[in-house]
């Protein structure tokens, strides 16, 4: 069963990220931190996370699992150069993605594995075995005055 986080302002965030026009002046171009889309689901005894990171070199992706929190961060610089009749244009842009999510179960972060194909990063993390809860009866001492 996939777990989908509730984001009440998701449509507004998406509008600003995808449809808001970029200013034409280079001094106003700051790297945007984008939140990649992510699917998290259980598969057998594993928690699987699939993250969209299109156009990112896998060498520039960092994945970390610590205290049942999955953190994915990617940064890549892209350079474009256009030489045409009468003008020369050069643009440098930065793609920066970051996402942290609390996993739905206790996991063994040190055994996590990741693979990247077709713009999708797939992270597989084995679930930890549930800890046994030991029951102990406690005697109540009664003090008298």
More confident site: 22 or 16: 16
Max distance between CA atoms of the chain, in angstroms, equals: 102
Whether the Cβ atoms of residue 1 and residue 42 lie closer than 8 Å to each other: yes
Q: CATH assignment of 10-126, given 2.40.10.410, 2.60.40.790, 1.25.40.80, 3.40.50.740?
A: 2.60.40.790
Note the pLDDT tens digit of each residue in 56-102: 888 999 999 998 899 999 888 777 777 777 766 767 677 788 889 99
Whether the Cβ atoms of residue 33 and residue 26 lie closer than 8 Å to each other: no
Q: Give the span between the Cα atoms of 74 and 56, in whole angstroms.
A: 7
CB 56: neighbour CB atoms within 10 A? 19
- State residue 47's pLDDT score: 93
User: What percent of the chain stands above pLDDT 90?
Assistant: 30
What sign has the CA pseudo-torsion 50, 54, 58, 60? negative
Look up residue 51 and give its two tokens.
């993250």
Q: Check whether 30 has a pLDDT greater than 80.
A: no
Name the pairing type of β-strands 87-102 and 32-34: parallel
Task: Compute the average pLDDT of residues 121-133.
Answer: 87
Task: Compute the average pLDDT of residues 18-24.
Answer: 53
More confident site: 11 or 109: 109
């Amino acid at each position: 069963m996939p777990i989908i986080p509730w984001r009440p302002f998701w449509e507004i965030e998406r509008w600003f990220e995808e449809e808001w026009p970029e200013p034409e002046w280079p001094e106003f171009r700051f790297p945007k931190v984008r939140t990649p889309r992510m699917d998290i689901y259980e598969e057998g005894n594993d928690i699987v996370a699939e993250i969209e990171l299109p156009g990112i070199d896998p060498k520039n992706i960092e994945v970390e699992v610590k205290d049942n929190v999955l953190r994915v961060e990617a940064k890549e610089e892209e350079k474009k150069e256009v030489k045409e009749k009468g003008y020369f244009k050069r643009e440098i842009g930065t793609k920066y993605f970051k996402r942290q999510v609390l996993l739905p179960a206790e996991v063994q972060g040190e055994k996590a594995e990741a693979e990247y194909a077709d713009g999708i990063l797939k992270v597989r993390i084995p679930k930890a075995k549930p800890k046994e809860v030991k029951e102990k009866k406690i005697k109540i001492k009664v003090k008298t005055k």
